[in-house]
Structure 1
Amino acid sequence: MRISETAVPGAYVITPHQLVDERGVFFEHFRAELLAETLGHPFVPRQINYSVSRRNTLRGIHSVAIPPGQAKYVTCVRGALRDIVVDLRVGSPAFGSYETTVLDAESGRGLYIPEGVGHGFLALTDDTCICYVLSSEHVPGTQIDINPLDPDLALPWGFDEPPVMSQKDAHAPGVAEAEAAGVLAKWPEATQGTPSIAVRNSLT
């Protein structure tokens, strides 16, 4: 598999090498040792979630407060989605930067998302299923929600009609309001093993 840097420090796109023959396809979806070498620390799964969405459903932007913090390894196991990760770590040189990646079941492509980074996606097909492998178990009251349509972020979702959204996401605060409320992660406490990389699409 190939692990590639993104515009968000510590977030990586993982592209598997597929072995194709007359029977079908085989590929490795996750290798702990390779990911740990890249991150500088292990990623230990504590919980696995799935969500299924109809086409044009927009979920996010979601993160988890530190503590407890939560890193994610996400893949699309059915259908296709446009995934966006956003640096929400106050003090990060890339604060407000984002990375857009199309994930689909055919490619097997995945994303590693570090603690303090926001995540959301737009379902591109009906019956799109995403898998979240998480570094911590769910703790009620620790989720951070940012409005995915926040004009300060101006994320390129690419929908051509109003998306289907939960009331919680549609009425979530913008990034400036969340920062002023002190709910976002701080850069020093959310960067264990995170290398410094080039920044683009940044608010700063």
Structure 2
Amino acid sequence: MQVEETPLKDCFLVKPKIFEDHRGIFLETYHRQRFSELTGIDSEFVQDNQSVSSFGVLRGMHYQKGDFAQTKLVRVIYGKVLDVVADLRPDSPTFGKTYSAILDDENLHQLYIPKGFAHGFLTLSEKSVFAYKCDDYYKPGSEGGIIFNDPDLNINWDFPVKEMILSDKDKNLPTFKDVFK
């Protein structure tokens, strides 16, 4: 496993070692001890989630607040997405900054997202199967979000907004300024 720092504090791009031969490929998707040795971070994941989305589906930007904030390790099992995170930790030197990466079933990269980040992704393939580990359980009353096209976060989705497919909830999320008044 190779771990690269992103421009955002405590957020890492994880590149697994892929073993390939005439039968196909094998990779280790997570190794807690090795990840901890490479980053100094020891996360204990307690819940795995998976979603299936069609081309143009945008999910985000979501986060869990307070005592139920979640660290996530996200990856694409099938397809291709533009994965985006925003640092929402007011005391962080990268507060209000964003980072994006292409995650797909070819590069098999993963993104480690610490507590206090908003997360979203846009499906760029006909279909995507997106999976992620969380270090705390989902609590509906602790969910939060920021609108995907927030002018302060200025995320470059590089995709026509009129072709995006969003839930009603995601279309009506507050702005960054509304959350951090």
TM beyond 0.5: yes
The superposition leaves residues 75-131 of structure 1 with CA deviations (integer Å, 9 ceiling, x where unpaired) of 000100000111111132111111110000122110100000111011001220100
In the alignment, does 2:23 pair up with 1:36? no
- 1:176 maps to a residue whose letter is K
C-alpha deviation, 1:15, in angstroms: 0.6
Does the 8 A contact of 1:79 with 1:126 survive in 2? Answer: yes
Aligned to 2:116: 116
Deviating more after overlay: 158-167 vs 67-76: 158-167
- 1:8 maps to a residue whose letter is L
- Trace 1:7-46 onto structure 2 (pairs within 5 A): 7-46=7-46
Give the aligned length.
180
Indicate the RMSD between aligned Cα atoms, in angstroms: 1.1
Aligned to 2:57: 57
- Trace 1:88-107 onto structure 2 (pairs within 5 A): 88-107=88-107
Aligned to 2:75: 75
- 1:43 maps to a residue whose letter is S
C-alpha deviation, 1:39, in angstroms: 3.9
Report which of the two has the higher share of strand: 2
Deviating more after overlay: 142-151 vs 39-48: 39-48
Q: 2: distance between equivalents of 1:62 and 1:161? A: 18
C-alpha deviation, 1:152, in angstroms: 1.1
- 1:27 maps to a residue whose letter is L
Does the 8 A contact of 2:145 with 2:174 survive in 1? Answer: yes
C-alpha deviation, 1:38, in angstroms: 3.6
Instruction: Specify every segment of 5 or more residues in structure 1 that has no aligned partner in the other structure, as ranges.
Output: 181-204
Deviating more after overlay: 153-162 vs 77-86: 153-162
The superposition leaves residues 126-171 of structure 1 with CA deviations (integer Å, 9 ceiling, x where unpaired) of 2201001010111121011110111111101110352111111111
In the alignment, does 2:121 pair up with 1:150? no
Aligned to 2:160: 160
> Counterpart of 1:141 in 2: which secondary structure?
helix
Does the 8 A contact of 2:46 with 2:136 survive in 1? Answer: yes
Q: 2: distance between equivalents of 1:143 and 1:37? A: 31
Does the 8 A contact of 2:68 with 2:138 survive in 1? Answer: no
Q: 2: distance between equivalents of 1:120 and 1:140? A: 17
- The percentage of counterpart residues that share the same residue type is 33
Structure-2-length-normalised TM-score: 0.95
C-alpha deviation, 1:19, in angstroms: 1.3
Q: 1: distance between equivalents of 2:110 and 2:95? A: 22
Structure-1-length-normalised TM-score: 0.85
Stretches of 4+ aligned residues off by more than 4 angstroms: none
- Trace 1:171-182 onto structure 2 (pairs within 5 A): 171-180=172-181
